Amino acid sequence: MPALETPGPEPRIWGSRIPLRNANFTGREAALRELREQMFEGPTAILPHTLRGMGGVGKTQLVIEYAHRFKGDYDVVWWIASDIPLLIPGALGALAEKLGLPPAKVVGIDEASRSVLDALRRGDPYKRWLLIFDNVNKAEDIMELIPAGRPEQGHVLITSRNPRWEGVANTMVIDVFDREESIEFLGKRAGRMTPEEARQLAHELGDLPLALEQAGALQVETGMSTEEYLDLLRRQPLEVMDENQPMEYPRSMTAAWRLSINALEDQLPEALQVLRCAAFFGPEPIPIDLFRWGSSGGVGPLLAPILGNPILRTRALRAINNFALGRIDDRAIQIHRLVQRLLRADLEPEQKQVYVREAQMLLAAASGLQPEDEANWGVFSRFVPHLDPVGAATTTNGRLRDLALNVVRYLYLIGDTESARSFAARFRDDWSHLSGVDDRHVLTAEHHLANSLRQDGRFDEAFTLLEGTLKRGRRVLGEDDDVVLLLTNSFGASLRAKGMFREAVAHDEDSRRRHAKKYGEDDPRTLRTINNLALGYALVSDYDKAVELQTQVHEVRNRPGVGSKLDLLVSLGGLCQAVRLNGDYQAAYYLGVDALEYGRGEVGVDHVHTLAVAVDLAIAMRRLGRIEDALELARDTYNRYESILTAAHPHTVSAAICLANALRTDGRLKDALALTRVIADGLPRIYGPGHPFTVAARGNLALLQRVNGDPAAARTLNEHVLESLDETLGRKHHYSLTVAMNLANDRHELGEHEAALDLDTQTHALLQELLGAEHPMTLGSAANLTDSLRTAGKTEDAHALHRATLAVYDRRLGVRHPDTVLARSGGRLDFDFDPPRF
């Protein structure tokens, strides 16, 4: 029984990656006692606590023992492997779902990790927690991932070989065992060893815990006597270690490793072959399933006969574990980085190339896994740290490149667009040198790179890249190649983002036809093209067609077992927008409520697609007259977007437009004007000054200038806006006609009644043709035209139009709808630009 231990119930949350307790753990009682006192009683308990020391000294084992021994002090214990800084946020973000927060696969890694930090800082739902960052390279890698101002019962424990922690953490230096601890440990591990033999062995190995562990494992596995072991250890040539061997490790320890490796080869040569292959992976856990998948073929001649024999495969992996040359835990095997270094240094250059190819083919065995399947995301997360060590960026192995690209796609899907972009750019650059810019893997890497750029609002870069890539792909691979069709669909999104709406529709019509011909109408790839085509038709104001296409997509995706939850949410949101734009606000409201409930329950409260649905629902609420509900939802959605992304991100700006429109409708005119000015100033930096979204949003600014008492400024601005929209979209477009209606209102308020009447007459006729006589916007135009006719003295025409318009208002929107009430009173209606999906 340990001298110091906290009894109590199991933690409510116990991380799945916490290693098993070491049954042979020995000594370190003083270190454990000091660490616990620092954690709970020290004057600087709020600071992180860092255990530092050279590799193999037992820092990680000490932390494992601390976690198991004192788990009764905590409600949450969470382990974060920190060798690779890129993966630390993801490991932290994985705690989100356990805390009842939206998971990283739904909201993205950055937002999940931020929400975890906030929950831990607040102590909600748990105040007693322990975060363990194991093997941190430098303090800068994690300082932003430590909860600031956390409760005193929330602790951060770090292991690191880096000595530079003073001033940012309470630091404990962990040294080798003292001699008595070494003797005690060897007595437990080796069993038959006498105290004097243990003393001699500890002396030769410098009391380094990892070296003692391997020495004990070797003797247990081989039955070798201590005398034999010491003789071999002293005679073992040390010159085999290459010049890059870290100086802080005793050379006798490397010799001890060599003895274990030699003994492994004597007992099971096949195990050494597997171990050498694993030496060319990263030091992070390697999924055991890789070795099973490799058994079905596709691996190299060295591993094929081993992995193809399930008994031999299992024996080899267990032998590596038993000789303490690797550790099997949580369906993965992990090889110590120094064992990997020794194994690689021991090989001739020709042999290294053989094992590099074996490692590459082994990792490539997983190339068939699909990143769209959420069930595969756990194993994909474990592939990430191995891409660079096995040389994915410098390989010509097509299957390994496929796997690497699938990892990029996985990173994009979970919301880690920064990592996806980084990998995609590197693969594109390195593979281009090896295989040429027209290689299909290079083209696919550019596709992923462009998608990541566009997702982050870098529209011009994405467009330029995709345009060139698509041209090369069509020239080299043909119009209907899988990669070219992938690029074709993505290029439609870039056309829409650039404001080239008509071009996008023509492009996506062709894309849909090609996809349907090759894959079938109901294939997920074809459905994506139909969804995109529907978005394009909405952007050219053909809302009937948009509703038709979105309905088609939704009907297929709504079938059991078809598509993912995210696919279904996207189609629900697209249908909600299309129905609302087509003037059926009540149906849009019901669809939006259903979509938002589904998104929050199945995809995540703060997922960007759930928030996009919330924007659409807020607009539908406002159009339906539910002003307070619309304002509350718009404000909440904007705040969520701003916390997940940035204030300048296109999604956040769309939510800001929605919020500003809701503020105006609620009568908060000055607040709406202030926010709209910020939006109007920022949009040119996102889309460019002449983009239809940028220009149409300035129409909102003009509207707010008038309702805030400056109709002259509004008229001047609206005239410029309308001229620009006429040039880019033409007058027969929803955006242009919205501005034309508001400009007529400006002129009417300024007393320019004849000009207002002319514009109202023209606008009403065009809206009837474009949207139909009963669309709410057409009705609003009719109400305005009625007022202009009345002002011009054309009473009979005004009365007839007024009567007909109110009849439709009563039937379509209801007698209590704000637009109906305003039209009945003879008032003039304003309309604004709402953020679209694209």
Taking only the tens place, the pLDDT of each residue in 29-50 is 888 888 888 888 765 456 788 8
Mean per-residue pLDDT pooled into runs of 10, the chain (838 residues) = 65 89 82 85 68 78 91 93 86 92 82 90 91 89 82 85 76 84 85 85 78 79 81 54 39 66 88 96 91 83 92 92 79 80 85 95 94 85 94 96 96 84 97 97 98 91 97 96 96 95 97 96 94 97 97 92 84 96 97 95 85 96 96 96 86 96 97 97 94 96 97 97 97 97 97 97 98 97 97 95 96 95 96 89
Q: Which residues, in sequence order, are CB contacts of 247 under 8 Å at separation 6+?
A: none
Sign of the alpha-carbon dihedral angle for 643, 646, 649, 654: positive
Sign of the alpha-carbon dihedral angle for 429, 432, 438, 442: negative
Distances (CA, A) of 512 to 481, 485, 505, 525, 621: 14, 10, 10, 9, 33
Q: Which residues, in sequence order, are CB contacts of 610 under 8 Å at separation 6+?
A: 106, 569, 596, 599, 600, 603, 604
Tokens, residue 584: 């059926």
- Please write the tens of the pLDDT for every residue from 61-76: 899 999 999 999 999 9
Amino acid of residue 272: L
What HEC string does 309-353 produce?
Answer: CHHHHHHHHHHHHHCCCCEEECCEEECCHHHHHHHHHCCCHHHHH
Instruction: Specify the pLDDT at position 240.
Output: 28
Instruction: Specify the pLDDT at position 834.
Output: 92
> Other CB atoms closer than 10 Å to residue 770's CB: what's the count?
19
Whole-angstrom distance, CA of residue 261 vs CA of residue 382? 26
Helices (H) and strands (E) in the chain, counts: 39, 9
Instruction: Specify the pLDDT at position 455.
Output: 86
CA angle, residues 274, 276, 277, in degrees to nearest 5: 65
Tokens 């105290």 found at: 195
Instruction: Specify the pLDDT at position 832.
Output: 96
**Of 362, 353, 344, nearest to 261 (Cα)?**
344
Tokens, residue 106: 């739904």
Instruction: Specify the pLDDT at position 234.
Output: 66
| Phi, psi of 435, rounded to the nearest 5 degrees | -120, -5
> Other CB atoms closer than 10 Å to residue 720's CB: what's the count?
15
**Of 269, 342, 263, nearest to 302 (Cα)?**
269
Whole-angstrom distance, CA of residue 3 vs CA of residue 29? 7
Instruction: Specify the pLDDT at position 242.
Output: 31
Whole-angstrom distance, CA of residue 501 vs CA of residue 492? 9
Whole-angstrom distance, CA of residue 771 vs CA of residue 794? 26
Q: Which domains does the chain have, with CATH numbers?
A: 13-173 (3.40.50.300), 179-364 (no CATH), 366-498 (1.25.40.10)
- Please write the tens of the pLDDT for every residue from 701-744: 999 999 999 999 999 999 999 999 999 999 999 999 999 999 99
Tokens, residue 185: 């440990």
What's the residue count for the chain?
A: 838
Whole-angstrom distance, CA of residue 638 vs CA of residue 614? 10
Instruction: Specify the pLDDT at position 237.
Output: 34
Whole-angstrom distance, CA of residue 442 vs CA of residue 433? 10
Nearest 10 degrees: CA dihedral of 781, 782, 784, 789? 140
Whole-angstrom distance, CA of residue 784 vs CA of residue 786? 5
Q: Got the DSSP string for 187-246? A: HHHHSS--HHHHHHHHHHTTT-HHHHHHHHHHHHHH---HHHHHHHHHHS--TTS-TTS-
Amino acid of residue 194: T
**Of 519, 444, 523, nearest to 486 (Cα)?**
444
Question: Contact, 29 vs 3, CB < 8 A?
Answer: yes
Whole-angstrom distance, CA of residue 240 vs CA of residue 78? 40
Instruction: Specify the pLDDT at position 258.
Output: 76
Question: Contact, 317 vs 328, CB < 8 A?
Answer: yes
Rg (alpha carbons) of the chain, rounded to whole number: 33
Whole-angstrom distance, CA of residue 304 vs CA of residue 384? 24
Tokens, residue 184: 């005690």
Whole-angstrom distance, CA of residue 701 vs CA of residue 718? 9
Whole-angstrom distance, CA of residue 641 vs CA of residue 376? 28
Burial string for 38-57 (b: 16+ CB within 10 Å, else e) reads bbeeeeebebbbbbbbbbbb
